Amino acid sequence: HDPQDSQAIVVTLDEAALARKLDAAANYPELAGEVAQAVSAFGRQAFAALFQPVDLVQRIVATVDSLPRETAPQRMMPPKPVRAVFAVSGSGEEFVLDAKNFARYEPYVKALAAVDPKALVAAYVHAYPLFQRAYRDLGYPKGHFNDRLLAMIDDMLAAPEVEAPIKLLRPKVLYEFAGPDLETRSAGQKAMVRMGPANAAQVKAKLREIRKEIIAASEARRQELVRVQCSGHAGRDPVHE
């Protein structure tokens, strides 16, 4: 993405305040107001049914960081595990991904499709110090979470559109894609393939909308900082210190 995309979410907030907010957001329903606002973008009922409430900020940050990589630990993901058994067709050493498998992802896709991108990104901007602090704690003291979020979105958008049948292998307990072009892709892209083309198309459409809003918010914050600096009253920027 364009480097200016990451002129990112500028928030003037000291480290002590960040620590207090992160502590407040650690346990649901005692979420910090900023995180609660982000949750409300999904709707309370959908969130309670589909997402893990504990350590929400840390889960989001860890998942955003890992999805563009080869593996993404399920135990750290914000969504609850997908229900029903992974569906395959075939026997012996010949397996293909069964279309019945796609229905497992539909509740999550439906919840995402219902989200207002503007409201979600507004909540994200408001809560950004929490995400930035958690990203630093993950091991990136000089990194910017907004950069990583955009990189994750771009990676998901680059997921291939694969036509059926999608061949699988089962070398051990878990199934793998038979084609190396799929199996060597990122965890996020493989998830897009597993959810099926119709679901993936909806997710990509929503990700494009969210990306657009993030960039607009980032640019608005950058311009705000420029105005403050020009007025001679610039605040401290904990994101780019």
Residue 110: how many other CB atoms lie within 10 Å: 13
**Residue reference for tokens 């990112």:** 8
The angle at the Cα of 184, spanning 145 to 134, to the nearest 5 degrees, equals 15
The percent helix, strand, coil of the chain (3-state, each to 5) is 60, 5, 35
* Residue 22 scores a pLDDT above 70: no
> What predicted TM-score, i.e. pTM, was given to this entire model?
0.81
| pLDDT-derived band at 5, boundaries 50, 70, 90 | very low
| pLDDT-derived band at 160, boundaries 50, 70, 90 | very high
Instruction: Encode pLDDT of 131-147 as tens digits.
Output: 888 899 999 988 899 99
Residue scoring higher pLDDT (33 or 121): 121
| pLDDT-derived band at 151, boundaries 50, 70, 90 | very high
Distance CA(54)–CA(60), nearest Å, equals 11
* Residue 55 scores a pLDDT above 90: no
In single-letter form, the type of residue at position 111 comes to A
The angle at the Cα of 177, spanning 94 to 67, to the nearest 5 degrees, equals 160
In single-letter form, the type of residue at position 47 comes to F
